[in-house]
Amino acid sequence: MAFSTIEVGSEGARGAITLNRPDKLNPLSTETLHELAEAAAWFDQRPEVKVVVVSGRGRAFSAGADVSVFSGPDPGVAAQRAAADAGRLMADAVESMRAVTVARIHGHCVGGGVVLAAACDLRVAAATTRFSIPEVDLGIPLGWGGIPRLVREIGPAMTKELVLTCRPFTAEEAKSVGLLNRVVPDEQLDDTIEELVAQLAEKSSLTLTATKRGVDAVTRSLADTASAWSDADSLLTALRDPESREVARRYLERFGRP
């Protein structure tokens, strides 16, 4: 398939999805979210692919949601809600992929990028990776099913702290709270990913899928993402709330955004 903002490919049992807007630190625009969901469906039609690496080209995994939506023209309620819901559909599509997904994380992993990583089965980060979830500073709730996914991975208390304070956190802290499987020196990231992919590719598709589905069934009973359908409505409400918009204006102004 031809994509504009991501690269997708496979070779034998291995597949790759690469965010490919390195000049902007791989923001998750609505177009990118749709393409990620399409890529997930593309891989589901290829039963020979057992493991898919999700990564970002250039200096970062992903700078998160494209904040240009806060200053762009109003496209109308229906179109705006569809755009607001695109992240949830993306995360659900990535999470439900038949193949095992491995997030290769480096540089910055921000907001929606954290949700994308949390939708993957396994997560490996370079030691210098910096994480943050700035949505509340942007005057919006964390959407895309991010809250139940974070509660599932790191628990309710840490989810509240990281989402409410918006404070940056390191790869080591992310691993210590359960968000990451491994943290490795930057220069060892590619070799570690290669070793992990090679191990997974040697397993049978049946046992990989059975294990993944079994774990997912258990975690759904702990923190189901089905309620995330309403995340888009909370986001649209926040985009019309004067105090929330003023908070976003101050945040964007502080970081030199229009």
Q: Please state the rounded mean pLDDT for residues 112-125.
A: 98
pLDDT at 221: 80
pLDDT at 195: 98
Taking phi over 0 as left and psi of -120 to 50 as alpha, with beta for the rest, 44 belongs to alpha
What's the pLDDT tens digit per position in 67-88?
Answer: 665 555 566 777 878 888 899 9
Q: Please state the rounded mean pLDDT for residues 115-125.
A: 98
Query: Domain containing 113: what range?
Result: 6-187
Q: Work out how many domains the chain is built from and give that number.
A: 1
Nearest partner of 117 among 84, 202, 21, 107, judged by Cα: 107
What's the pLDDT tens digit per position in 28-63?
Answer: 999 999 999 999 999 999 999 999 999 999 999 999
* In a domain? residue 126: yes
Q: What residues pair up with 11 in beta bridges, in sequence order?
A: 14
Enter the tokens of residue 242: 């004067």
* In a domain? residue 176: yes
In angstroms, the CA 251 to CA 108 distance is: 18
* In a domain? residue 120: yes
* In a domain? residue 88: yes
pLDDT at 31: 95
pLDDT at 258: 43
What's the pLDDT tens digit per position in 192-234?
Answer: 999 999 999 999 999 999 999 999 999 888 777 777 778 888 8
* In a domain? residue 40: yes
pLDDT at 90: 97
Say what the pTM is.
Answer: 0.92
* In a domain? residue 75: yes
In angstroms, the CA 187 to CA 4 distance is: 29
* In a domain? residue 49: yes
What's the pLDDT tens digit per position in 145-155?
Answer: 999 999 999 99
**106 contacts 56 by C-beta, under 8 angstroms:** yes
Nearest-10 crossing angle of helices 77-95, 30-44:
40
The amino acid occupying position 17 is I
* In a domain? residue 203: no
175 CB neighbour count, 10 Å cutoff:
17
End-to-end, the C-alpha distance of the chain in Å comes to 35
Q: Please state the rounded mean pLDDT for residues 7-13.
A: 97
CATH number for the domain including 66? 3.90.226.10
What's the pLDDT tens digit per position in 226-235?
Answer: 777 788 888 8
- Under DSSP, the state recorded for 250 is H
Q: What's the chain's average pLDDT?
A: 92
